[in-house]
Amino acid sequence: MHRFWSLLFAAVNLSCLGMLVVAYARPELGWWLPEAASTQAPKIDGLFYLISVLCGLFFVLTQGILIVAIWKFPSTTPGTAKPIHGSLGLEIGWTLAPVAGLLVITGASLPVWKDTKYQGLQANFPIANAEPAPAADQVILVTARQWDWHLRYATAPLQAEGIREWAEEGTPSDLMVADELHVWKGAKVTLLLRTTDVIHSFFIPVLRLKQDTLPGKTIPMRFEASVSNVRFDPSQGRLVSGENNSSWEIACAELCGGNHYRMRGKLFVHPDRKSYEAWLNHAQRQARSRTLATSSPSSSMQKDASKP
């Protein structure tokens, strides 16, 4: 190969490295990880950084060897190469080093996996000698369908044993909302994920929460939001910006048909329970509307009505 390739690889690698630096230094570009808004997020981000650094070291090493090798020995070099026939030391080395790296990654991942995925299961599948699932401040049934999200909020507090029955039957006081997830900062939320048709995936980037919804299953997930972005102003009857001006997205992360890419929702984290309950009251009044005056819900419920 010509030295052209060495230059090309070096140029591509350097520009990627440059973009990485820019992405990390300028978070407002949105190229790097979104902000971390849940108690779980730093742990998952930690895994991401660990894996990036480990793999990055190997990447730099291998690319460096490749670039230098092509530069020093382009195909115009006279003579033929002399192959070597095995080197036990090298082979052991480059087997054991990645194994060690993988073991480190596994060791770091397992506790995070347990925290993320296994907490909520105790509510539905009691495991002998397991700790009982802690009570949730909020229980929300999320039903995915092509192509929106329907959320059913339990408005009365639920005990862990009663969650399954509530999921199956519902109660008349439940609030049904499309495409909007409202929680408050510090609330322990249990989500029950379902789908009415095909496989979708409930994904909230800022919470680092992602779980496929499978037909026939109700899958529990738990999280606790640690940053708030809106609050509800009862005097205006709408959401206004809170301590943080962000618009947080719920996305579908499993291809589910033509409008999969448009299957979006919004996450609203209220600063405290009071703001959440003010919103809840307002939404329930809309949902119980018996008069013309309250019958026309507009998207003044949204934080910023001019952005989709």
Q: Which residues bind other proteins (CB under 8 A)?
A: 2, 4-5, 8, 76, 145-148, 150, 168-172, 176, 178-180, 257-259, 262-266, 286-292, 294-302, 305-308
User: Which residues lie across from 192 on neighbouring strands?
Assistant: 141, 220
Residue with tokens 């000698």: 129
- Choose between 43 and 238: whose C-beta lies nearer to other proteins: 238
147 cis-preceded (ω within 30 degrees of 0) = yes
Closest distance to other proteins from the beta carbon of 272 (Å): 24
Closest distance to other proteins from the beta carbon of 6 (Å): 12
- Choose between 210 and 260: whose C-beta lies nearer to other proteins: 260
DSSP for residue 285 = H
- Choose between 89 and 216: whose C-beta lies nearer to other proteins: 216
**CB contact set of 125 (below 8 Å; sequence gap of 6+):** none
Distance CA 11, CA 74 (A): 17
Find out whether 105 and 50 touch, Cβ atoms under 8 Å.
Answer: yes
User: Which residues lie across from 152 on neighbouring strands?
Assistant: 141, 176
Closest distance to other proteins from the beta carbon of 226 (Å): 24
Closest distance to other proteins from the beta carbon of 265 (Å): 7
Sign of CA dihedral 192, 196, 198, 204: negative
Closest distance to other proteins from the beta carbon of 196 (Å): 8
- Choose between 113 and 147: whose C-beta lies nearer to other proteins: 147
- Choose between 122 and 124: whose C-beta lies nearer to other proteins: 124
Closest distance to other proteins from the beta carbon of 90 (Å): 30
Residue with tokens 């029950």: 192
- Choose between 63 and 146: whose C-beta lies nearer to other proteins: 146
**CB contact set of 169 (below 8 Å; sequence gap of 6+):** none
Find out whether 57 and 245 touch, Cβ atoms under 8 Å.
Answer: no
